[in-house]
Amino acid sequence: MGDLTHFNEQGRAKMVDVSAKPETTRTAVAQSSILLNDEIYELVTNQKMKKGDVLAVAQVAGIMASKNTSNIIPMCHPIALQGVNIAFEWEKEEQGYRLRIKTEAKTKGSTGVEMEALTAASVTALTVYDMCKAIDKGMVIGPTFLVEKTGGVSSNDYKRQVKQTDRELS
């Protein structure tokens, strides 16, 4: 199966053995967003949503999701996260307001934390949707992408070349 490391000699899925890889400090930053209408923006920013503080709940959900990534992504290794941070930034657009979500994950181990950062970003956006869907089901999530990753010895550090539509959070 060439360079596809998640397949065994029979072409079936396997979890990659990382036991020979050295432990290094590894970080990953991911980003997602959700486009909301003006009414939801006002309710969220003034903490008037009936379900409570949307951003606080979404932040906790994202952190919890990052800690459970290996339970929902089949070939992900369970890892001990050393830290997870989630930040928000609002941006006015023609169609409403975009909530940008930036997640950072860190570990010291034999495998990276890209999936944990991406999962945190995705679940944070999904939680915002869930808490606001009674007002408007037309919210749009995305794009979701890896901004950067550091650490490890088998692959180089990565820094995304930012496109205008994927504007990175500062």
**Strand, helix or coil for residue 29:** strand
Whether 166 is catalytic: no
Active-site option among 130, 136, 157, 166: 130
* Pairwise CA distance, residues 162 & 131, whole Å: 30
Contact 113, 107 (CB under 8 A): yes
Cβ neighbours around 109 below 10 Å, total: 20
What gap in Å lies between CA 124 and CA 118, rounded to an integer? Answer: 10
DSSP H stretches of helix in the chain: 38-45, 54-67, 69-72, 114-132
Q: Determine the residue type at 11.
A: G
Distances (CA, A) of 119 to 20, 69, 75, 78, 87: 26, 7, 14, 13, 14
Give the residue numbers annotated as catalytic, written as ranges: 130
